[in-house]
Amino acid sequence: MPALLKGFFDRVLLPGFAFKYRANSVWWDKYLTGKSAHVLTTMDTPPWYFRLFYRNPGNNQIRRTILEFCGIRPLRITCIGRVHNAPASWTARWLDKAAAFGRRA
């Protein structure tokens, strides 16, 4: 994940706001339980290849170690790719899809 995005998560999902560690325990309290998220990711790798051969490392990190750690569920991730040199018709379709996701939120 880009450092700028990781820095954003680190500055927004802070202890006391998104979660709280318990004293003398390995467990924590999830403060964002009941919240949901829909993540759109773009990549130059075809999504099927990223899923099949790489096993979604970036998506797993965002899902498990960041958002679900804070209690955010349900969580949906939509992968958009191969964006490098994509035809204009693909880009238009992706933008329409993103707009539709935003209207449903």
pLDDT tens, residue by residue, 53-80 = 999 999 999 999 999 999 999 999 999 9
pLDDT tens, residue by residue, 85-102 = 999 999 999 999 999 999
Q: Which pLDDT does position 61 carry in this prediction?
A: 94
Average pLDDT over residues 48-55: 94
C-beta separation of 73 from 59 below 8 A:
no
Asked if pLDDT for residue 6 goes beyond 80, the answer is yes
Which run of H or E residues covers position 105?
none
Q: Is 40 exposed, middle or buried (0-12, 13-18, 19+ CB in 10 A)?
A: middle
pLDDT tens, residue by residue, 12-36 = 999 999 999 999 999 999 999 999 9
Q: Compute the residue count for the chain.
A: 105
Asked if pLDDT for residue 105 goes beyond 80, the answer is no
Cβ neighbours of 62 (radius 10 Å): 21
Q: Which pLDDT does position 104 carry in this prediction?
A: 85
* CA-to-CA dists, residue 95 to 16, 41, 42, 87, 88, angstroms: 36, 12, 12, 13, 11
The dihedral of CA 61, 77, 52, 82: what is its sign?
negative
Distance CA 41, CA 38 (A): 10
More confident position, 104 or 77 = 77
> Could you tell me the two tokens for 16?
């006391």
